[in-house]
Amino acid sequence: MFRDIGVVIRKELIDLSRDRRTLRSMAGILLGMPLVYVLLIGVILSQIKENMERTVQVGVVGCSHAASICDFLRENRVDLTPLNEVETKLIANRKFDVILSLPQDYEQALAEFRRPKIGLWYDEVEDKSSFAAKRMGLLLESWQVGLGYRRAILRGIDPSTLKPLQVEARSIKPEKGFGYSSVQLFMSTLLMACFMGTYHLAVDSVAGEKERHTLESLMQTAAPRTAFMLGKWLSIAVVGTIGMLASALIFKFLVEARPLQNLLGMASELSWSFVGKSVLICVPLILMATSLQFMIGTLSRSVKEAQTYTSLLSILGFLPASFANVLEKMPNAQWMPSLGQTLTLLRMGKDQPVNWLACLVASGATLLLAALFMLVVYRAFHNEKLFRSGT
């Protein structure tokens, strides 16, 4: 039996090494996705950095009424262009990030202890505009606080009475630049590798043999049918696990690459311990995903039919990663297959305490599911309907 399994695995691996289409598909997911994700982090963070550092373009109506504010803004990387009236289309046309409107009675209102109304127009759906509006809001708030202090001092009032509290926000995690973003995307990379990495291979393994009319003659040989089942499944699982490991290493290599870090001016580090633990946590998931896809491939009449069901079910398996933050609040979520592993990865990424017992139970349940799927495959392999369904 073990010899037969070895023969099947060897043949499957030789066949795979010559199947360019499947190799391309696997390379795209297992090697391409880490690259895409890392580039994605790079693009997003470089945009944030650019928005933080760049000079904001502001159209101002009534700058002459409040020269002191305008001077303050100019000192803080804000480029002001005088306007006669508020024309919102200038924001839509991206000529200005925001438009500021200063009232004619600004000075008089302050003198009379009234609060002059300052208008700020921006485009919420446009990142640049929305980010500029936030910066303008902070600058104006800062100006307002300074003005309040000055007025209090002039009246002999201790300025601290205006703001009796001193709030000092400090992050409990050391700043790692794009640290947590990279952890989240690393998690997505691993789950993508688990559920999508070998799906083409799994589907083709039996459904493809049915289509090519090779399965029936295979089952007429002296090797036990269980040997074919296990040989095929093991070759997919081994390739999938190696692929996931490669995916994890490529992600680590890319995210820690100097050129990217220099480009962003930020550093990120995924420790070997974190990478190793994450890969180990995902091994039961890959076995479950492989079994599920293998079962679909076995029960389907053609590769096309199997692909349809497999892609749908693989997305279901991948969903917990996308909604991990929401699902975390579900009671008992950490004990569930797939979800438990995802939440463990999430907590590890956040440096939060991990419930390893829950992770172990979730892994056990995941392996049990894998065994159930394989039991269905076993029954199918010993049923003559397996040969009746080929196209």
Partner 1 sequence: MIEVNQLKKSFGKVEAVRSISFHAEDGRITGLLGDNGAGKTTTIRMLAGTLTPDAGTIQLDQKPLAIYDRHQRRHIGILSDAKGLYERLTTRENMAYYGQLMGLSGSALEQGIQRARKLLDLDDILDRRVQGFSTGQRMKVLLGRLLVYQPKNLILDEPSSGLDVRATRKLRVILSRLREEGHCLVFSSHIMQEVELLCDSVIVVHDGRSLGQAPVAEWNARAGVEKFEDAFVAAIEGGQYVP
Burial call 85-105: b when 16+ CB within 10 Å, e when fewer: eebeebbeeeebbbbbbbbee
Work out whether 14 is an interface residue with partner 1 (CB under 8 A): yes
The answer to whether 20 touches 187, Cβ cutoff 8 Å, is no
- Please say which residue, 143 or 378, places its beta carbon nearer to partner 1: 378
> Smallest distance, Å, CB 244 to partner 1?
25
Work out whether 15 is an interface residue with partner 1 (CB under 8 A): yes
Residues binding partner 1: number (CB under 8 A): 28
Binding residues for partner 1 restricted to 369-388, rule: CB under 8 A = 384, 387-388
The answer to whether 223 touches 7, Cβ cutoff 8 Å, is yes
Phi–psi pair at 203, nearest 5 degrees: -65, -40
Work out whether 391 is an interface residue with partner 1 (CB under 8 A): no
- Please say which residue, 8 or 327, places its beta carbon nearer to partner 1: 8
Q: Give me 353's structure tokens.
A: 């305490």
The answer to whether 351 touches 173, Cβ cutoff 8 Å, is yes
Binding test (CB under 8 A) with partner 1, winner from 219, 313, 361, 376 = 219
- Please say which residue, 208 or 337, places its beta carbon nearer to partner 1: 208
Work out whether 301 is an interface residue with partner 1 (CB under 8 A): no
* Binding segment (CB under 8 A) for partner 1, from list 223-231, 251-259, 327-335, 341-349: 223-231
* Binding segment (CB under 8 A) for partner 1, from list 76-84, 134-142, 213-221, 260-268: 213-221
**Closest C-alpha to 9, from 303, 229, 214:** 229
Question: Rounded to an integer, what distance in angstroms lies between the CA atom of residue 335 and that of residue 328?
Answer: 11
Tell me the longest C-alpha to C-alpha distance in the chain: 102
How crowded is the C-beta side of 206, counted as CA atoms within 13 Å? Answer: 31
> Smallest distance, Å, CB 211 to partner 1?
9
> Smallest distance, Å, CB 391 to partner 1?
11
Binding test (CB under 8 A) with partner 1, winner from 110, 223, 246, 319 = 223
- Please say which residue, 109 or 234, places its beta carbon nearer to partner 1: 234
* Binding segment (CB under 8 A) for partner 1, from list 89-97, 107-115, 205-213, 271-279: 205-213
Q: Give me 315's structure tokens.
A: 């997305």
Binding test (CB under 8 A) with partner 1, winner from 50, 127, 141, 216 = 216
- Please say which residue, 147 or 223, places its beta carbon nearer to partner 1: 223
Work out whether 24 is an interface residue with partner 1 (CB under 8 A): no
> Smallest distance, Å, CB 209 to partner 1?
7
- Please say which residue, 11 or 151, places its beta carbon nearer to partner 1: 11
- Please say which residue, 9 or 362, places its beta carbon nearer to partner 1: 9
- Using DSSP, state whether 354 is helix, strand or coil: coil
Question: Rounded to an integer, what distance in angstroms lies between the CA atom of residue 22 and that of residue 213?
Answer: 19
Binding test (CB under 8 A) with partner 1, winner from 152, 224, 328, 351 = 224
Q: What is the DSSP string of 6-65?
A: HHHHHHHHHHHHT-HHHHHHHHIIIIIHHHHHHHHHHHHHHHHHHHHHSPEEEEEESGGG
Work out whether 214 is an interface residue with partner 1 (CB under 8 A): yes
- Please say which residue, 8 or 203, places its beta carbon nearer to partner 1: 8
> Smallest distance, Å, CB 228 to partner 1?
9
Binding test (CB under 8 A) with partner 1, winner from 2, 18, 112, 273 = 18
- Please say which residue, 32 or 390, places its beta carbon nearer to partner 1: 390
Please name the amino acid found at residue 334: Q
Binding test (CB under 8 A) with partner 1, winner from 156, 222, 273, 329 = 222
- Using DSSP, state whether 174 is helix, strand or coil: coil
Distances (CA, A) of 77 to 54, 97, 181, 298: 7, 13, 28, 64
- Residues near partner 1 (CB under 8 A) are 3-4, 7-8, 11, 14-15, 18-19, 209, 212-225, 384, 387-388, 390
